[in-house]
Chains A and B, each alone.
Chain A
Amino acid sequence: MTAPLPSSAAPGSVFFGMMGTPFQSETVTSLFRMVDAALRQGRHVTVWNCGHATGLSQTSLCRPPDLFAPDAPAGATTATLIQALMRRYGDQFEWLVCRYCMEERGNTQQIPETKVKIPFSFQHYLSAADSALVLGVKS
């Protein structure tokens, strides 16, 4: 006998902390899948980005052509994906970037939807959320 899964949970707010270098695995995909699911369930979602994750929302991102589908239209970047979620969910979704990490890595070309925050406000947003998950730190 195993423990049961919850059938439902009341909508609340969710905080995701995206840390380190998220490009070395499918962690970015997992993050966006979870963000999308939480938004569809009516929750308020805050994503805080530190380290190289601050590059996910740069205007300068580009995606190389898909060699397996050369006729396919240009693919979305993580920045355009964030903008699409903003258009769909409005104030229900916040994308925050740590100023220190952003400037240290030269990731300063941010989309207008990004809110650049001082590092110390991490704790404020984390504490304000009903649920939290910090991901992306290499063990």
Chain B
Amino acid sequence: MTAIPPISVLLIETHSPASSGGTECIRLAAALLDAGDAVHLHLMQDAATWLQQDPDTVRELGRHHDGRLLVTVDDVSLDLRGIDRAAADGVATVIDVDTLMRAMCEPSTKSLWHS
């Protein structure tokens, strides 16, 4: 059984895919994964709309880097936008801010916020 490496980079995306620079974090995640890093991509604020506007890109990213990418989405960001949590099925795991903080405080994690 292949050991799952620890999450090393936490990318917090706040852009929707349609906004200026909205795909930069996805491209950065792909580059980090290609380089062999483990990535936790967290969709927060307007980035929650990735689940409605372009879930295939996120899903595809995980398919190519099986086991090294974790995609999560902020529960409050979904609720504020009226996005049904079912939209996350098969794309991302819905988490609360407490879980996000625990992930951020893992000793091996480097966190990046994309404004």
Contacts and interface: CB of A to CB of B under 8 A. Distances in A.
Interface of A: 1-12, 14, 20, 25-27, 30, 33-34, 36-38, 40-41, 43, 130-139
SS class of chain B's interface: helix, strand, loop or mixed?
Answer: mixed
A51 to B, nearest CB: 12
A139 B19 CA distance: 12
Interface of B: 4-5, 7, 12, 14, 21, 24, 38, 40, 44-46, 62, 66-72, 76-77, 80, 93, 95, 97-107, 109, 111, 113-115
A70 B77 CA distance: 26
Contact of A3 (B12, B38, B46, B76): B38
Given A3-B38, A33-B76, A9 B68 contact: no
Closest 9 CB pairs of A and B: A135-B113, A3-B70, A9-B105, A37-B101, A37-B97, A33-B97, A133-B111, A9-B102, A131-B105
Nearest to B92: A2
24 contacts: A1-B66, A3-B5, A3-B7, A3-B68, A3-B69, A3-B70, A5-B95, A5-B99, A5-B102, A6-B103, A7-B102, A9-B102, A9-B103, A12-B105, A25-B14, A25-B46, A130-B107, A131-B105, A132-B111, A133-B12, A133-B104, A135-B113, A136-B113, A137-B115
B66 A20 contact: no
Contacts of A12: 105
A4 B70 contact: yes
A26 B113 CA distance: 13
Nearest to B105: A9
A4 B101 contact: no
B97 A5 contact: no
B7 A6 contact: yes
Given A9-B102, A14-B104, A33-B97, A25 B7 contact: no
Given A9-B102, A9-B105, A131-B109, A1 B97 contact: no
Contacts of A134: 113
A139 B114 contact: yes
A88 B76 CA distance: 24
Contacts of A1: 66-67
